[in-house]
Structure 1
Amino acid sequence: MYINGERVSAASGDTFEVTNPATGEVIGRVPDGAASDATAAIDAAADAATAWAGTPPFARADLLHTAWQLMLDRADDLAGLMTTEQGKPLRASKAEVIYGADFLRWFAEEARRIEGAWLTSGRADQRFLQTHAPVGVVAAITPWNYPISMLTRKMGPALAAGCTMVLKPAEATPLCAQAVIDVFEDAGFPPGVVNLVTTGDPKPVGDVFTGDPRVRKLTFTGSTAVGRVLAGKAASNLQRVSVELGGHAPFIVFPDADPVHAAKGAAALKFLNSGQACISPNRLYVHDSAQQAFIDTIVPRVEKISVGVGTTDGVKVGPLINEAAVAKVEAQVEDARAKGAAVPVGGRRVTDGDLAAGHFYAPTILNNVTDDMAIYREETFGPVAPVITYDDVDTVIEAANDTNYGLAAYVYTSDLKTAMRAVEGLKFGIIGVNDVNPTSATVPFGGMNDSGLGREGGHEGLAEYLETKVAGFAL
């Protein structure tokens, strides 16, 4: 672990294994931290908070910029580690490292733009000064599916704002987190500003994060169920909370869209990271006039997707993170098949040759999916694309909104009016219009309803870590 600028073991001396999901091989051991380790990390962050908050924004920006450059310099090594630990193909890992580094550059620049304002009053002899201050110690809990970029998406704005941090990465991917800490240490961040606690049992650490009054903000990316629990506990401490949770993204192909173009976009997006992304499309609504062309395009493209170990050239889909993930995908596909869905491609585990020891599932298309199937209602987090045929354009937005989630949605249309009405009607925080990658460090990322609270990225991302102060001056 990394506490107060030093590499430390867990107080208990315990460790836990880290495995490669493609092979089952043990690739490392890391400290198995507990509540006392989390408290020690908060001690360090609290002790460093005043000095870091008082560090000029330009100096904080310079350190973040150095970290950005170091991440780029180490991109190949970081990508190789991610592929080994998380499983995604090497090319996708490299893209994530670059994306993750972008947050450091963006928020290095935003640090220089933390501005206040002079405000007028109803009294002639009074003026107001509005300023911003860091919220204080931040506890961050990050997921395994994007083990580097989800760290930097939180670290960038928090550190730019002048907050100190305690990080708890997913138990499946702590090695990536350690490598990110190496970057920040080598960039010259002072002791205590960034701290890392690894653990195989996140609950005791989470209880410390939400129960220690010195932690003024909790930021979490993960499942809706866990996010609800953490937000509820944080409420008793009146902690600020940002939670980016699950999704159940609709992908709507309107009748005026080019179905071939839409199918190519769906194939490119759905199987990214083996479908293990909260913005992955989970319900593909295709108008009945376009359904055959869509299926005729997407099926052969999916058939050609190579599945395997991410370090192998040409592999596009790697393993799922663990056996439970494979079992969930398998159960949803079998439920849909039993209720009448067609499976023109995929629909099975992949256990060929050397892949038998890993957690692989074939890229799958389900056709004729109906609303009584589990996959229609539940997030899949796997390489399965369920195609739903519709015939009423006036009700497809209502169908797309028929979920408790509200993170991402996608629309394919050639008509500006249709696009605008869809954007206004869809109850989702992120909407791609003929665009399968509507994200960037420069824009806010987050959802509505059960998909979370708050935003990461963009100008809004920095505001999440700042308090507003007002001073009244009598003249």
Structure 2
Amino acid sequence: MSGLDLLPPEHRLLFIGGSWREANSGATFAVRDPADGSVITEVADGDVNDAVDALDAAVAVQDEWARTAPRERGEILRRAFEAITARADDFAELMSLEMGKTVKEAKGEVAYGAEFFRWFSEEAVRIHGRWMQNPAGGSRLLTIKKPVGPCLFITPWNFPLAMGTRKIGPAIAAGCTMVVKPAELTPLTMLALAATLEEAGLPAGVLNIVTTSDSKSLSKALMADDRLRKVSFTGSTTVGKVIIRQSADELQRVSMELGGNAPFIVFEDADVDAAVEGAMIAKMRNMGEACTAANRFLVHESVADEFADKLGARMGALVVGRGQTEGVDVGPLIDQNAVDSVSQLVTDAVHDGARVVVGGTPMDGPDHSGGTFYPPTVLVDVPAEAEIVKQEIFGPVAPITTFADEDEAITRANDTEYGLASYVFTRDLSRTIRVAERLQFGMVGVNSGLISNAAAPFGGVKASGFGREGSFEGIDEYLDTTYVALPAT
């Protein structure tokens, strides 16, 4: 089994109430390979009526699912983890096909995404409240944790598996049912995940998948329904704000993992070679199409030339091509809009005075078959006020600016509306603590370009959203607290 074999035609439909079915309208939409624009397959194009059917299915089994033993919920997740791990190659090939990332990188996402199921399979049996005596005496205080209820998950295109598992995993563990709306550009991996959970014994109606080309209408209709109690969204800050406003009418709980503008700070005492290695990971993971991607490189003026030369050499040596091709390091961007956006940011930066070290021009596919490719790019002498250091690039471009001292580095790092990920390279332990405390970001990577971990709380502050996914905090997003006042016995 490989690639599309993981997803037979009968699983390219909507998954509602435990059944695979066509959209009510019979409509479908095409899923395309970003490497050449060709159609991979067609999937069902659900509408508002399908979405309501999915919520109906989730609501119908919510009470029963909430009463299911935690151990049973955990075992379902564990079986799904083992199945995904056993089929890692197949999931990776499917993901590479629809999203563009290399198969090697996709295998890394499969391991990361599956780990959320293993983590939350263990957390399912650790949901507990507390019992205590009233400090004033005369009664006892009991707290009970209960599942929040039916959820809506809206997942992005850049991590088709992991962005689903880190929402679905804690919801299943907590006893919540759900409707998932995967990204239109990359729905296939989510459908394969649904089939895997079905095989792992997840009861009908707990998980419902509605693929659609009209996400806006579906989410609006579902959020107007008072039976929906929770929304988790990963995507842009602009769309996140709309969803938060829509949630107000029904006072739905929301978790928002939104945009980022991660600073990558290299101090004068840093190991430059280690910083370059970290930069390659923080910048080039997923071709730079990640909210945690290093977006602004703030390098001390004394080591800036060395860092830029070494990073340029590493970036320039990367091989660009189709993600399924052996030896390729960098796949295509997701679509032409992505290429145009990245290209415009680079063009504007150069106009403002930046200098291109390597890359800097959109490229045709290596086999001249078209595709949405952009080469790994390094810019130096980037003005601090350039748009490329203000906006989320979402592409393989590293703009380097310099700073003179620690205070300047921190001030400029914090000079953004976003607050998701940040990276710091230094050999000074005292500086590490000072900087970590002053940075206004939900996550700080110290001497490392990789910070994502299922056991760590993932999330940001400011315009990067609120709520946490993964770790112990992740399951709390799906639990309500009930306080019970008991008379003294």
- Is the contact between residue 321 and residue 365 of structure 2 (CA under 8 Å) also seen in structure 1? no
2:315–2:377 Cα contact (<8 Å) kept: yes
Alignment correspondent of 2:56: 43
The reply on whether 1:409 has 2:413 as its aligned counterpart is no
For 2:452, the equivalent position in structure 1 comes to: 439
- Separation (CA, whole Å) in 1 of partners of 2:366 and 2:244: 44
1:382, 1:63 → 2: CA distance?
A: 37
* Contact 2:149 2:230 (C-alpha < 8 Å) held by counterparts: yes
Matches within 5 A, 1:226-265: 226-265=239-278
Asked if residue 318 in structure 1 is aligned to residue 331 in structure 2, the reply is yes
User: Could you report, residue by residue, the CA deviation over 1:324-373 in whole angstroms, capped at 9, with x for unpaired residues?
Assistant: 00000000000011111010100011215424420000000010111231
Q: Aligned partners of 1:234, 1:352: CA distance in 2, in Å? A: 43
Find 2:41's aligned residue among 2, 23, 28. 28
Q: Is 1:64 the equivalent of 2:77?
A: yes
Are 1:456 and 2:469 counterparts? yes
Q: Is the 8 A contact 1:272 1:317 kept in 2?
A: no
Residue by residue over 1:362-390, the C-alpha shift from the partner in whole angstroms, topping out at 9 and shown as x without a partner, is 00001011123110111100000000011
CA distance, structure 2, for counterparts of residue 442 and residue 261 of structure 1: 24
Partner residue in 1 for 2:354: 341
Could you tell me how far apart the structure 1 residues matched to 2:176 and 2:349 are?
47
* 1:260-339 aligned within 5 A: 260-339=273-352
**What is the CA–CA distance in structure 1 between the aligned matches of 2:203 and 2:351, rounded to whole Å?**
58
Q: For the Cα contact (< 8 Å) 2:452–2:458, is it kept in 1?
A: yes
Shift of 1:263: 1.7
Question: Deviation of residue 124 (structure 1)?
Answer: 3.1
Matched letter for residue 229 of structure 2: R
Partners of 2:136 and 2:383 in 1: how far apart? Answer: 64
Give yes or no for contact 2:147–2:174 (8 Å, CA) kept in 1.
yes
Bigger mean CA deviation after superposition, 350-359 or 235-244:
350-359
Q: Is the contact between residue 166 and residue 197 of structure 1 (CA under 8 Å) also seen in structure 2?
A: yes
Q: Which amino acid aligns with 1:41?
A: A
Secondary structure of 1:409's match?
strand
Q: 1:209 — aligned with what? A: 222
Provide Cα deviations, 1:86-128, integer angstroms capped at 9, x if missing partner: 0000001011011110000000000010012112114433111
For the 8 Å contact 1:211–1:237, the answer to whether it is kept is yes
Three-state SS of the structure 2 residue aligned to 1:437 is coil
Corresponding residue SS for 2:254: strand
Q: Find the partner of 1:185 among 170, 192, 198.
A: 198
SS at match of 2:320: coil
Name the amino acid aligned to 1:315.
Answer: V
Distance 2:223 2:486 in 1: 37
In the alignment, is the contact (CA less than 8 A) between 2:459 and 2:469 conserved in 1?
yes
**Counterpart of 1:297 in structure 2: which amino acid?**
K
The DSSP-based 3-state class of the residue aligned with 1:21 is coil
Q: How does 1:80-95 map to 2 (within 5 A)?
A: 80-95=93-108
Whichever residue aligns with residue 44 of structure 2, its letter is P
Q: Alpha-carbon deviation of 1:292?
A: 1.3
Unaligned runs of 5+ in 2: 1-13
Map Cα deviations across residues 116-159 of structure 1 (whole Å, 9 max, x no partner).
21121144331111110000001000000000000000000011
CA distance in 1, matches of 2:161, 2:365: 30
TM-score (norm 2): 0.96
Q: Is the 8 A contact 1:350 1:356 kept in 2?
A: no
Give the conservation status (yes or no) of the 8 Å contact 1:283–1:376: yes
Instruction: For 1:157, give the aligned amino acid.
Output: P
Report the alpha carbon displacement of residue 392 of structure 1 after superposing the two structures with TM. Answer: 2.5
Letter in 1 for 2:241: R
Q: In the comparison of the two structures, how many residue pairs are matched?
A: 475
Paired AA for residue 72 in structure 1: T
Q: 1:111 is aligned with what amino acid?
A: A
In 2, Cα distance between equivalents of 1:168 and 1:439: 23
- Confirm or deny that 1:374 pairs with 2:387: yes
Measure, in 2, the Cα distance between the counterparts of 1:372 and 1:220. 30
Determine the C-alpha separation between the residues in 2 that align with 1:181 and 1:355. 36
The aligned amino acid for 1:80 is E
Partner of residue 223, structure 1: 236
Q: Matched residues in 2 for 1:414 and 1:209: separation?
A: 50
Distance 1:444 1:259 in 2: 28
The one-letter code of the counterpart of 2:300 is H
Distance in 2, Cα, partners of 1:267 & 1:179: 31
Identity over aligned pairs, percent: 48
Rounded Cα–Cα distance in structure 1 between residues aligned with 2:366 and 2:308: 30
- Structure 1 unaligned segments of length 5 or more: list them: none
- Matches of 2:145 and 2:121 in 1, distance apart? 17
Residues 1:109 and 2:122 are matched in the alignment = yes
Moved over 3 A (4+): none
What secondary structure is seen at the aligned counterpart in 2 of 1:292? helix
1:129 aligns with 2:142: yes
1: CA distance, partners of 2:124 / 2:280 = 38
- Look up the SS of the partner of 2:273 in the other structure: helix
Contact 2:161–2:190 under 8 Å retained in 1: yes
TM-score, with normalisation over the residues of structure 1? 0.99
Q: Matches of 2:259 and 2:330 in 1, distance apart? A: 21
